[in-house]
Each structure stands twice: as C-alpha cells, then as structure tokens.
Chain A
Amino acid sequence: MNIVVLVKQVPDSGSERKLDPADNTVARAAADNVINEMDEYAIEEALTIKEAQGGEVTVLTVGPESATDAIRKALSMGADKAVHVVDDAIHGSCAVQTSAVLAAALGQLEYDLVMCGAEATDAQLSVMPALLAERLGIPQLSGARKVTIEGGTAKVERQTDGGYWALEAPLPAIISTWDTINEPRYPSFKGIMAAKKKPVETKTLADLGVDAGSVGLATATSKVLDFAGRPPKGEGVKVTDEGDGAQKFVDFLAGQKIV
C-alpha cells in the first residue's frame, strides 16, 4: 500500500496572520510557519495503514523553501520520503492552479492512496480532494472520521451534521481526514534523527512538465482586489454578577428585541 500524504505549510493560527499589501498574498514572513495541523491526522492515518499493510508513505508538498520544516515534521513522525515542489513561479497561485501542480507531481508517483487533512487552517477551503479527484479521475472520499482499507476498496465514514455517510470506492483514491479520526503521534527522538537522513526530492515546474505561465499570481483564476482589518468592535458592556447578572443579561436581550 503506497500512500502519498499531501502536506501544507501554513502560518500558525496562534500567531498574527496577515496578507502582504504588496501583492495581497499570504504574508509568510509575518507569522510562524508550521505544518497544517489537520495534515498531522492524515499522516497518522497513513502510517497506521502502512504499519498494518506494508508499503511506503511519501510526503508531497508544494511551497517555498521554508516548507522543508513541514516535510521534516512529517518524516520525523515516520513517513519514508518526500517530494517538495519548489518554484518561484508558483507564488500567488489559486487553489485551481495548485491542484494542477499537485496533480502533475502525483502523476510521477506510484500510489494506491492519496491522503490529506480535511482543511488547511489558513485558507479553509476544504476543496483539494475534490479538485484532485476531478483532475486525476480518481474517487474522492473526503471528510473522513474513519478509514478502512480492505483489498482494493476504501471504506470511509464521511462526517456529517449529526452523523456520517458510509462511502465506498475502489483504489486508487483520495481521502481527507478530520481531527476526529485519530490521535497523531509525537515524533520520537529516534524519529527526528532518522528524518534527517530520509530522502527529500526537490522538483521544479519544469521537472513536472507544468508551464510556468499557467500558475502564479498573474494567471490565477481569482484575485484579491483589496483587504482590510475588521473594524474594531465598539466597547462592549461588562457587568459582574452580584445576583443580578441573569437579570441584566435578559434585559440586554430584551433591549435587542431578542426576547
């Protein structure tokens, strides 16, 4: 069972995240950059499947040089090797363009499964499995809270409001996972040391046969025109409960014509 896990480096949601006024793209230098938290669950699930069924786990990322940190994290958890697509021309790409780059990179890898987190904490689109499934013509099993691989079939519980949908599809397939699926392992010291020796292959757009003019800010399928900080909220009212807190709360609701 060969599994490719898609990993994205994102600005840490705990730090102040900004757009860069120069070109309205994510200001990566302004924040701490970390592996997308949700991807760790996908890595854990991939490692669990590999441990049970054999095979290899490959990490694939598209991102700037600095994204090697996210790759190392995945390798130190136990992934076997990595492919890092780095090319200045990719800067500012939209999701549609990024999916074309990922699809080209996947085209050069052998896989039974592609896995990724169910959303990235920066853009929160949750569309990469759909985009890649469309491009690659493989089944999309997104939003999983449980994954079972039996023979050539993937069975997934897709998390829904108040329950789940049981999905079934033949391999190869792409699966995205929520944080309800498992508890990601912490890299061990041994894992961290071993990760330093694991192969990381760097590829450019030319290596993938992708036209540099088809990606990047200039040809993105959507663009940010402008952005602004949310206007600060007016000072709210804060009362301390001295037996009258509930009354004041209800009075506030009444003032808002809610009750």
Chain B
Amino acid sequence: MAEVLVLAELNPAGGGVRKTTLEALTAARALGEPSAVVLGAPGTAAGVRDQLAEYGAATVYVAESADIDDYLVAPKAEVLAQLVSEKSPAAVVIPSSPEGKEIAARLAVKTGSGFLTDVTEIASDGTATQVAFAGATIVHSQVTVGTPIYTLRGNSVAAEPAPAAGTEQTVDVAVSDAAKQVRVVERVVEQKSSRPELTEASIVVSGGRGVASAENFSIIEGLADSLGAAVGASRAAVDSGFYPHSFQVGQTGKTVSPQLYVAVGISGAIQHRAGMQTSKTIVAINKDPEAPIFELADFGVVGDLNTVVPAATEQINARK
C-alpha cells in the first residue's frame, strides 16, 4: 500500500501527541498506509511512539535536532521535504495549526506540489472537502500537481485506533543555514489554563458582548468547567476587553468545530458565525429573541444569561 506521511503535532515538553495528530493519522488511512513524522529537539519522540502506532503509524520517522526547535517553521519544512523526496509518499497530511499550514506551504514550494488547507475530510481518490465563506459553502477540491499536501482541521474526523507496527526509524538531520534565519528566542505562556484547547475541545462555551464585563466572564467559565469545555469569546467581547484575543472565535480568530457549541450573549454576526458554524450542535442563550444566532441554533433560550447560565451550571454540577 502507498505510504502517506503524517506530521505529528505534539504537546509541549512531554505532553504527548495532540488529538489533531491522531485525527490526521485516521484521515490519512483513506489514502494509504500512514507513517508518522516526529520533528523536534532531541528527546521529542520519547514516549509518543506507542500512541502513534496505536493509531495506525506503520513507521515512525524521528528527526531530532536542536535546530528544529530553535528556528521557526523552515527547518521542519526542510526535513519533511527531504523525507518526501526519499520516500515518494502518496500524500502528506499535516494537522491544521498556523504552523502546520506554513509548513504545508513551504513544502509545496520545495516539492513543486499543490496543497489544500483546513480540509475536513479526505476521500480515497484524494478529493478533499473544505468549507468556505464562513461555513456557508462546502467545496470539494483536488491537488493537481506533485505530491498532494493536506492540512486537516481539528475535530473534523473522529480519531479511531488501528494498531500498526510503529517501527521507529531515525532520520539524519542537517538543517541548512537558509532555514535558520528566524530564531525563536523565547516561548512565553501568559495564560495558563487547565481547560481544553479551543480548536481541539469537544465542547466550547463562548461569551459575547452580552456578558457585559470581564468579571462577568466567570459565568461563562463556570458553565464551561461544568461541561469540561473550552472557553471562547466573540470579537465584540474581545474588542471590549472582556477576554483575551487568543480565545476569539470567528473570522479573525479561531475556527472551531466541536460536538457542542454554546453561544452566550452573542448576537451571531457573520464575523462570529465564520468561526463556529460547522459545530455539530449549537445552543444559543440570548435575551434578544431576534438575534441571528438563533437561526443557527439547535436549541435556543431567550432569556437573561445572568440567571439562566448560573442556574444551568448548578444543575449540571448537581447531576455529576
């Protein structure tokens, strides 16, 4: 069977494989036999092989070098291009993070290939599904030149185990000077959160302008925590300073596609819909019965979030 390279995205320092990687391994099986590629500083691959094998990686290529970690994007694209030229895979599948998309783009230029970003499905003939224009249009696309490169949007494909050998193979790394131009001086974490990452979470609870203040976002966080959910915010809430930008859902923020999306005090402007329209189930809580968010909602509550949300949180916690 044809080999498909899957770039593994890992959690920081010993945090294991990200869910998006397992989803990518699952999606890649439509095209052939997946091999995982682990790129990072020395020690990165330790402890991740078993999980990659469990989700279908026949081979786990390990390329470890301090240079991969010390410089932005370019070294990863270079090593991946080297593997593509050595292995001639049927395709490359990469989790669709900002870095993943940039690696895909550079790899496309290096290998003379086409690439498709944020795909939500890959069929066995290589046709990918994408959503365009705020989720309003569904598109089927194909790469027509070179080795097809896909970046897979998180939460689009359910990760399913399919145990394989996971034979580890070391890749010699010699990062060129050209790929060592942008030094990562420091990685700074400003907000530590025990909540799931927005684009990976199966439930997202978001607050909008209706939440009315930064302090009041504790209501949103309370509901999120009762459901084990990530917290999101609309652009209006972020622009008003209620919640940090890295939690913004919408056109100029994150695109999420969880099992359940709860929009609280969010009117549902196109800007916001762009980031959440593909969620499986949508619940809206808003005091304005005419709010456009209700057009998307599977279940809507017209009411004051300040009473409805805390009461619901209490009931959910009581059920545990």
Contacts and interface: CB of A to CB of B under 8 A. Distances in A.
Asked if A pairs with B, the answer is yes
Interface of A: 13-14, 17-19, 24, 37-38, 94-96, 99, 119, 121-127, 129-131, 133-135, 137-143, 145, 158-170, 173, 178-180, 219-230, 233-234, 236-241, 245-250, 252-254, 256, 258-259
B185 A246 contact: no
Given A126-B98, A236-B300, A249-B312, A221 B145 contact: yes
Q: Is the interface of B mostly helix, strand, loop or mixed?
A: mixed
A10 B23 CA distance: 32
B136 A130 contact: no
Interface in B180-196: 181-193
B300 A138 contact: no
Contact of A241 (B74, B144, B146, B304): B304
B186 A127 contact: no
Contacts of A254: 319
Nearest to A141: B182
Contacts of A227: 132, 137-140
Contacts, number: 262
B311 interface: yes
A10 to B, nearest CB: 11
B140 A130 contact: no
Contact of A221 (B115, B197, B302, B307): B115
B266 to A, nearest CB: 15
A69 B225 CA distance: 47
Nearest to A119: B252
The 7 closest A-B pairs by CB, nearest first: A241-B303, A221-B114, A246-B311, A127-B105, A130-B102, A139-B181, A246-B312
Contact of B132 (A14, A19, A237): A19
A157 to B, nearest CB: 8
Q: Is the interface of A mostly helix, strand, loop or mixed?
A: mixed
Interface of B: 72-74, 77, 98, 101-106, 108-110, 113-118, 127, 131-146, 178, 181-193, 197-198, 203, 227, 244-246, 251-252, 255, 259-260, 270-271, 274, 277, 281-283, 285, 289, 294-304, 307-309, 311-312, 314-316, 319
A125 B260 contact: no
30 contacts: A13-B271, A119-B252, A121-B251, A133-B74, A133-B106, A140-B181, A143-B98, A162-B189, A166-B186, A222-B116, A222-B142, A225-B127, A225-B140, A228-B138, A230-B277, A233-B296, A236-B297, A236-B300, A239-B301, A241-B303, A241-B304, A241-B307, A245-B308, A246-B308, A246-B314, A247-B315, A253-B283, A253-B316, A254-B319, A259-B227
B257 to A, nearest CB: 13
Nearest to A100: B109
B299 A258 contact: no
Contacts of B135: 230
A40 B110 CA distance: 30
Given A230-B135, A259-B319, A221 B296 contact: no
A169 B183 contact: yes
Contacts of A160: 187, 246
A76 to B, nearest CB: 23
B247 to A, nearest CB: 9
A122 B259 CA distance: 25
A161 B198 contact: yes
Contacts of B118: 124
A180 B181 contact: no
A250 B73 contact: no
Contacts of A164: 188, 190
B140 A165 contact: no
A253 B304 CA distance: 19
Contacts of A179: 252
A236 B185 contact: no
A96 B294 contact: no
Given A96-B115, A227-B140, A163 B301 contact: no
Contacts of B143: 221-222
A222 B118 CA distance: 14
B292 to A, nearest CB: 12
B294 A238 contact: yes
Contacts of A129: 102
Given A159-B246, A246-B312, 12 more contacts: A18-B137, A19-B132, A131-B108, A162-B193, A167-B182, A221-B108, A222-B141, A223-B142, A238-B301, A240-B301, A245-B302, A258-B260
User: Which of B142, B181, B186, B304 gathers the greatest number of chain A CB atoms within 10 Å?
Assistant: B181
A249 B263 CA distance: 12
Nearest to B285: A249
B279 to A, nearest CB: 11
